[in-house]
Amino acid sequence: MIGTQNRAWTRSLRTIQLFFSSGLRWSAIAWFASLLTLLLSLSLLNVVNSYVGRDFMTSISDRKWKGFIFYAAVYIGVFALSTIMAAFYRFSEERLRLLWRGWLTRLLIDLYMSRDRFYRLKARDEVDNPDERITEDVKSYTQTTLSFFLMTLNAGITSLAFLGVLWSITPLLVLVALLYAAVGSAMTILLGRPLVLLANLQLQKEADLRYHLIQTRETAEAIATTGASKTVRECLRARLADVIANNKRIIEVTRNLGFFTNGYNYLTQIIPLVIVAPLYIQGRVEFGVVTQSAMAFSAFLSGFSLIVTQFETLSSFAAVTNRLDTIAEALEQSRAPTSGPIEIVTDESRVAFEGLTLRSRHEQRPLLDGLSLELTHGGSLLIAGPDSAAESALFLATAGFWEEGQGRIVRPGPEGMAFVPNRPLTIRCSLRSQLVGTSIRHPSDDEIHRILERLGVAAAVLRAGGIDAEIHGPSVLSPSDLRLLDLARVLLAVPRFAFIDRMGSELNAEQVENVYRLFREAAISVISIGDRHRLEGYHDRVLLILGEGRWQVVRPSEPNAGAASSASGESFVTDSDRGHA
């Protein structure tokens, strides 16, 4: 428990240091200075209140009417001032927490989206529910960390403030408070140790349940049409059962811990009275000192009993901090490798695969073995065959997202080559940003509308609200419209090469023919993955992926007779078969 808390505080201190050295440091420093000033003022008012309360109770016991009226008025004044300062303190705390949360969330989003880490993190399956960690966990982390930090600071200041009060009554109160807090902290750690692990598991299981509910919403059509609702319901119930079972364990540990902490808190009210009451009976102190000792003892003890009184908060704090630290480390490790077994070289004039071997991620089975071919600008290539996993791996390897294998890939840079994945780009933003957001070109509205008209998707875009409408594509556009919008993005960027995964799967024959005609007019060389019989007529050569690493290159009209080599000077060049057929 102690080791986990120490690591959590170390990570938090590092995060706080980064925050206070960021571009928001002056705002952060101003809000923190305001909090510190208000905290000191409230502690001072609490000390004053203890003396006012002492004299107020003494006036009552001595039946002094004037003293009672005077100290009652002072009592009300101190309470009123404390109320105002407490309200401003809460306001300042929330503003600082919001500032910190915004900064930390932006930092994680930038890290998540930079260098395609979001994809590499998903492909490596290292961290569960990164979206949950970046949103809810950051919110919980900043709230818990700041609250506990301020609580600790307040406890320290309050303990120092009331140390003199207790010592002036009797030094025995100070010694008893320190011993009582030490014993209480040790017992709390012993009884509540399992809470840290259980709190971490609870966050994970809650996130899993939410993730599966989101997936159910996103795949509602498939679930309904396939009659899989019963299976999905059972899956959701199983996730819910995990949440409830872990929560039951947390409740059991909390119950056992509660037996001790409740007794601990009740005894704090009687201990100072047991020590000071005999002094009052002996006439050595006034009656007000008895009530003052109870208040001062409780305030002083709170600074040394945070582990006892806030153990559940500490457990959640450690769990959330661990989840954020895990995703931060995973994002850092998910950077694109500077070098690897698959070398990618930039050449704006061609796409080539030189001795490229690809293997599956988990089983490490061969997908492609020693692929060597070249496509120069002006040519076209169709990739087809029964092994869809190998086709997808070749697409991802060319884009730089497949690390299992070796060999060399030559291709243009980002502006010279566009990639169109199988699933359309359907982010919640304007259609304009989806069409031109990643391009260095800035096409005019007329050019955008002209491309949309030629692709036959302009009417659908207009019905959806136009190119500046912020919509979620799948909710208002058909699969074929979404596919045509992805292709419009390529035609607006005008790269030298385009690599299209599953070309034609959502389009009819007329739309496919129109798309390839537009690509030829734009002088964009196309590499397509798709059905051979539908698409081979639009390409110069066909790469057949046959399974178990085997491949062939044939002309569109040739049967699967072996790999063919183009004559020197043609747009497509391949090595001889070398036994791959």
Compute how many other C-beta atoms are within 10 angstroms of the C-beta atom of residue 2: 9
What DSSP character marks residue 337?
P
The answer to which of 50-64, 531-545, 566-580 has the lowest mean pLDDT is 566-580
Predicted confidence band of residue 190 (pLDDT cuts 50, 70, 90)? confident
Residue 329: name the closest of 117, 162, 59, 537 by CA. Answer: 117
Q: Does 225 score more than 90 pLDDT?
A: no
Residue ranges with strand state E in 312-449 = 342-346, 350-359, 366-376, 381-384, 405-411, 417-420, 429-430
Predicted confidence band of residue 79 (pLDDT cuts 50, 70, 90)? confident
Class of domain 342-574: alpha beta
Does the structural domain 2-194+254-333 have CATH classification 3.40.50.300? no
The domain segmentation of the chain, as residue ranges, is: 2-194+254-333, 342-574
Q: Which residue has the tokens 């992805």?
A: 486
Where does residue 145 rank: exposed (0-12), middle (13-18), buried (19+ CB within 10 A)?
buried
Q: Where are the alpha helices (DSSP H) in 170-310?
A: 171-192, 195-218, 220-226, 229-281, 287-302, 306-309
The answer to which of 86-100, 232-246, 343-357, 555-569 has the lowest mean pLDDT is 555-569
Q: Does 12 score more than 80 pLDDT?
A: no
Predicted confidence band of residue 273 (pLDDT cuts 50, 70, 90)? confident
Task: Give backbone dihedrals phi and psi of 403, rounded to 5 degrees, phi first.
Answer: -110, -5
pLDDT computed for residue 125 by the predictor: 53
Three-state SS sequence of 552-566: EEECCCCCCCCCCCC
pLDDT computed for residue 457 by the predictor: 92
pLDDT computed for residue 132 by the predictor: 66
Please give the structure tokens belonging to residue 551. 């491949």
Predicted confidence band of residue 269 (pLDDT cuts 50, 70, 90)? confident
User: What pLDDT, in 10s, does the model give residues 101-144?
Assistant: 888 888 878 777 766 666 666 655 555 566 667 777 788 788 87
Element (H, E) at 70: helix 65-113
Predicted confidence band of residue 192 (pLDDT cuts 50, 70, 90)? confident
pLDDT computed for residue 266 by the predictor: 75
Q: Does 371 score more than 90 pLDDT?
A: yes
Predicted confidence band of residue 573 (pLDDT cuts 50, 70, 90)? very low
For residues 380 and 372, give the distance between their C-alpha atoms in angstroms, rounded to a whole number: 16
SS3 at position 47: helix
pLDDT computed for residue 572 by the predictor: 45
pLDDT computed for residue 562 by the predictor: 41
Chain mean pLDDT for the chain:
80
pLDDT computed for residue 378 by the predictor: 92
pLDDT computed for residue 576 by the predictor: 38
Please give the structure tokens belonging to residue 77. 């004044």
Show Cβ contacts of residue 270 under 8 Å, excluding neighbours closer than 6 positions.
none
Q: Does 200 score more than 80 pLDDT?
A: no
Q: Does 145 score more than 90 pLDDT?
A: no
Predicted confidence band of residue 433 (pLDDT cuts 50, 70, 90)? confident
Please give the structure tokens belonging to residue 390. 């190998």
- Cβ atoms of 308 and 95 within 8 Å: the answer is no
What DSSP character marks residue 478?
-
Compute how many other C-beta atoms are within 10 angstroms of the C-beta atom of residue 389: 14
- Cβ atoms of 222 and 228 within 8 Å: the answer is yes
Q: Does 466 score more than 80 pLDDT?
A: yes
- Cβ atoms of 359 and 367 within 8 Å: the answer is yes
The answer to which of 121-130, 190-199, 213-222, 422-431 has the lowest mean pLDDT is 121-130
